[in-house]
A and B are shown apart, each in its own frame.
Chain A
Amino acid sequence: MEYFKKHYFLYLMLSPALILTLIFKYGPMYGAIIAFKDFSPIKGILGSEWVGLYNFEKFLSSPNFEVIFMNTLKLSFFGLILSFPVPILLALMLNQVRRAGVKKNIQLFLYAPNFISVVVVVGMLFIFLSPTGPINQLFSWITGEPVMFMSRPEYFRWIYILSDIWTGAGWASIIYVAALANVDPELHNAANLDGANLLQRIRHIDLPTIRPIMAIVFILAAGGIMSIGFEKAYLMQTATNLPTSEIIPTYVYKIGLQSGDYAYSAAVGLFNSIINVILLLTVNFTVKKLNEGEGLY
């Protein structure tokens, strides 16, 4: 009590964040028990009947399950594999630019798309890739026929991932650029005297420097593999690209908020979160093993 009287101010300072977190983060976790209930909004969360794993079984046995689950996994997995190396390459390339002014200007350009909203990025995709858009003007000129990029399921993943790289790779390179700036130039000098060429120096000096950061970035990205952006996928969906563009988050939104099947939707969402946590822990464990004990936890 004595302690609390003396330091109440600290707890007072913490309280807004704590209260908001309890309400808006832990509240929904409590609310997620509707996934195990036959939820009716009239009876409320407590009043509704328990149905056990019924909603989960319904999802797992539905014909949609495999398609949607694999769509989610493929989109995130390929996205991770393709976009993870790009910022690292950019940073290594930027690191070779010796004139500080030039480097700053290149960075200024490369970071810019990060400040463009997802709505605008997707809007630009629709305009650029439309049958009469600039990309298709080029294609028609070469092949004589426009390509229906946005409505064909086979292009969805490519468009999604490549545009993600366009938006975010430059920005994601910041952290590597900063780490590389801390490398002692003497190291490079010494290696050079020993006859190491540029590629060898990058491999033996630059890469080991950024390896711990690579590990952390990779773990965080892999941990988010199932929480892949609803926002962009939903905007990019067209009636005809659904076979590849329907992913768990967009499905949850549609059955939950658009069709009002709250309990079922909550179960699908919960299923997704749990897979996500399992993935995060697995990847963290594996990277830690490979990376001499350096993981996130």
Chain B
Amino acid sequence: MFVKHSRLDRFMLALNAAFLTLAVLIVILPLIYVVIASFMDPSVLLSQGLSFKISDWSTEGYKMILTNPAMLRGFANAVFYASAFAVLTVMVSVCAGYALSDDRMKGKGFFMTLFLFTMFFGGGLVPTYLLVKNLGLLDTVWAVIIPGAVNVWNIILSRTFFKGVPNELKEASNVDGASEMRIFFSIVLPLSKPIIFVLALYAFVGQWNSYFDAMIYLDNPNLHPLQLVLRSILIQNQVDPGMISDQLAAAEMKRLSEIIKYAAIVVSSLPLIIMYPFFQKYFEKGVMVGSIK
């Protein structure tokens, strides 16, 4: 049932539509620009900016990016870090969330406070770095995966989810003589696919997009994830010499560096941008559950 609109209201709604259109344009025009620019002929792009003549199109940037060993290695590393991190953080959070959702557990309040406190206060960058160093994790993949694996938000998220699982279900199986472990693995876990999925998505995306831990903990370039490779291309302007064969002069480097940047942005962001519409409702669900404390 719709409210009947007055003339003023209709004017306001038209204005609203205009503003929303503007907002959408502001958001997507830069993205469209990058995609178009990435397919431009590098020389044309450098000399005159965007052009829409078909003859000015080229895939040179993509050839450079997709044959670049640092980029490919970064891509593979990012897939590994993001997957491993997602698996670990989901396991840790789901287990803890399940335990903390159980009313029979004594000391729940104490443990919750212990976790929550870390959301608002931390030891700081240097002590954390020294700890990771003393544990011998520097320059190993573990430094990227383990320290951030406990996420209080995720624990709250899964605890909220498990609170929604009816207690009767557990009690009934308890009467049948199933052990706690059995109940968790064969009854609760199969019901938990939604929360596992939401947490895994979040963790994967977060790790895929992060560069900071890798930057401080990993010296070895072979271990660098995609975002660090991107950082050197996009921000430090270091186009890997291997990308352009030695004989080519600095001018060639300059000619190609812009197009390489655009292509690198597209290649690195595409997987998430493509995947995200399919998972939109799960991401939204995560935000919603996380907001109910």
Binding site for B on A (CB under 8 A): 3, 7, 9-11, 13-14, 16-18, 20-21, 23-32, 34, 41, 90, 93-94, 96-98, 106-113, 115-120, 122-124, 126-128, 134, 137, 166, 170-171, 174-175, 178, 185, 188-189, 192, 197-199, 213, 216, 223, 230-231, 235, 249, 252-253, 256-257, 262, 265-266, 269-270, 272-273, 276-277, 280
Contacts and interface: CB of A to CB of B under 8 A. Distances in A.
A276 B120 contact: yes
Contacts of A249: 125
Interface residues of B, number: 93
B49 A231 contact: no
Interface of B: 1-6, 8-9, 12-13, 16-17, 19-20, 23-24, 26-28, 30-31, 33-34, 49-50, 91-93, 95-96, 98-100, 102, 104-106, 111, 114-115, 118, 120-131, 146-150, 155, 179-181, 184, 205, 208-212, 216, 227, 230-231, 233-235, 258, 261-262, 264-265, 268-269, 272-273, 276-277, 280, 283-284, 287-288, 291
17 contacts: A9-B180, A9-B184, A17-B93, A17-B115, A20-B146, A96-B16, A108-B280, A113-B31, A115-B269, A116-B272, A127-B234, A128-B30, A137-B49, A197-B12, A257-B125, A269-B125, A272-B124
B231 A20 contact: no
A120 B99 contact: no
Which of the listed residues B96, B111, B277 has the most CB atoms from chain A within 10 Å of its own CB?
A: B96
A150 B183 CA distance: 58
Nearest to A195: B6
Contacts of B91: 16
A126 B148 CA distance: 29
Contacts of B19: 93
Given A24-B131, A124-B34, A197-B8, A112 B28 contact: yes
A185 B23 contact: no
Contacts of B118: 21, 25-26
B150 A93 contact: no
A120 B124 contact: no
A216 B290 CA distance: 12
A98 B27 contact: no
Given A120-B230, A127-B262, 20 more contacts: A3-B106, A7-B105, A14-B100, A16-B95, A17-B150, A23-B131, A24-B147, A29-B122, A29-B127, A30-B123, A31-B123, A34-B130, A93-B23, A107-B280, A112-B27, A119-B235, A123-B265, A127-B258, A174-B287, A178-B284
A27 B129 CA distance: 11
A188 B49 contact: no
A151 to B, nearest CB: 13
Given A123-B235, A189-B1, A175 B288 contact: yes
B123 A29 contact: yes
Contacts of A120: 230, 234, 265, 268-269
A18 B184 CA distance: 19
A117 B24 CA distance: 19
Contacts of B23: 90, 93, 110, 170
B22 to A, nearest CB: 10
Given A13-B99, A97-B20, A185 B1 contact: yes
Contact of A7 (B95, B104, B122, B124): B104
5 closest residue pairs by CB, A with B: A28-B123, A123-B234, A31-B127, A269-B124, A17-B96
B15 to A, nearest CB: 10
Contacts of B147: 24
Contacts of B280: 107-108, 111
B125 A24 contact: no
Contacts of B5: 198
Given A124-B30, A174-B287, A262 B126 contact: yes
- Greatest chain B CB density within 10 A among A109, A112, A117, A171 is at A117
B139 to A, nearest CB: 14
A4 to B, nearest CB: 9
A11 B99 contact: yes
